[in-house]
Amino acid sequence: MSGLLRIRWAIVPEIARRPLIDCNRCGGVIPYRCSGKFRVNANGKRIDAWLVYRCTGCDNSWNFSILERRNRRDIAPALLMALESNDPTLVRCHAFDAAALRKQIGRIEEFSDVTVQRQLLDGRPECASALMLELRLDAATPLRLDRLLAGKLGISRSRLQAWQERQSLAIEPDGAKVLRRPARDGTAIRIDLAGEADRDAILSAACG
């Protein structure tokens, strides 16, 4: 039996990061949730814009700065329209920007919940002896690669490690402890399944 089954996994994080803020109403550090709304303020020709967050305890607000004192003529009309209309795609872009949130507030709460959308690129499961997974992420996730693969393929993390040690599993880009690091956009995983008793089950799980 020969053949390679190529599948693209589009990994979509489900829960946005939540900044951890010392709420003056609750009297402690509380996670704030994204409200899904922008606040735009115009002072003459200068524009400020924020993504509004709400305390999960008391609904107190905190503003995540997006634009500061920007000249209106320097802002693309499409961007300004998206801010003023609370465009969901733009909200998601900023709500999942962990680096920017950390820069402004320091501490954030992250979640590993993801949805995986599968697309068959090439090959047939019944004819394949090897699996190639191409990962695409629209936003970063803290979910470790080994947890993602084990959960979606129905195998143990120790088995993944064993495959890697005997070179039945190859990951690009490679690196030390890559399986224990968060899944990343553009990662390619190849698994040689020749001789594996549960080959059909693994391929079926990969296809969803």
Fill in the DSSP letter of residue 51.
Answer: E
Could you tell me if 132 and 198 lie in one domain? yes
- What average pLDDT is seen over the chain? 94
Q: What is the pLDDT of residues 87-98, one digit of tens each?
A: 999 999 999 999
Question: Which residues are registered as beta bridge partners of 75?
Answer: none
Could you tell me if 195 and 123 lie in one domain? yes
In whole angstroms, give the CA distance from residue 95 to residue 62.
13
**Once rounded to an integer, what is the mean pLDDT over residues 9-35?**
95
Could you tell me if 117 and 183 lie in one domain? yes
In whole angstroms, give the CA distance from residue 181 to residue 145.
6
Could you tell me if 100 and 150 lie in one domain? no
Domain termination residue (choose one: 83, 109, 135): 109
Instruction: Residue 11: name the closest of 181, 186, 178 by CA.
Output: 186
Could you tell me if 63 and 105 lie in one domain? yes
Could you tell me if 174 and 203 lie in one domain? yes
Could you tell me if 25 and 8 lie in one domain? no
In whole angstroms, give the CA distance from residue 6 to residue 207.
9
Could you tell me if 197 and 120 lie in one domain? yes
Could you tell me if 74 and 124 lie in one domain? no
Identify the band that residue 101 occupies on the pLDDT scale cut at 50, 70 and 90.
Answer: very high
Domain termination residue (choose one: 109, 139, 161): 109
pLDDT-above-90 percentage for the chain: 88
User: In this structure, how many other beta carbons lie within 10 angstroms of the beta carbon of residue 91?
Assistant: 20
Task: Determine the pLDDT at residue 1.
Answer: 41
Identify the band that residue 174 occupies on the pLDDT scale cut at 50, 70 and 90.
Answer: confident
The pTM of the full predicted model, rounded to 2 decimals, is: 0.83
Please name the residues in contact with 167: beta carbons below 8 A apart, sequence gap of 6 or more.
none
Could you tell me if 87 and 55 lie in one domain? yes
The answer to whether 109 and 147 have CB atoms below 8 angstroms apart is no
Could you tell me if 128 and 76 lie in one domain? no
Task: Determine the pLDDT at residue 114.
Answer: 96
Please name the residues in contact with 101: beta carbons below 8 A apart, sequence gap of 6 or more.
17, 19, 64, 108
Q: Is the peptide bond before 173 cis (omega within 30 degrees of 0)?
A: yes
| Number of domains, the chain | 2
Domain termination residue (choose one: 78, 109, 140): 109
Identify the band that residue 111 occupies on the pLDDT scale cut at 50, 70 and 90.
Answer: very high
**What are the counts of helices (DSSP H) followed by strands (DSSP E) for the chain?**
6, 10
Q: What is the pLDDT of residues 35-72, one digit of tens each?
A: 999 999 998 889 999 999 999 999 999 999 999 999 99
Alpha carbon 115 to chain centroid, angstroms: 9
In terms of residue numbers, what domain contains 50?
18-109
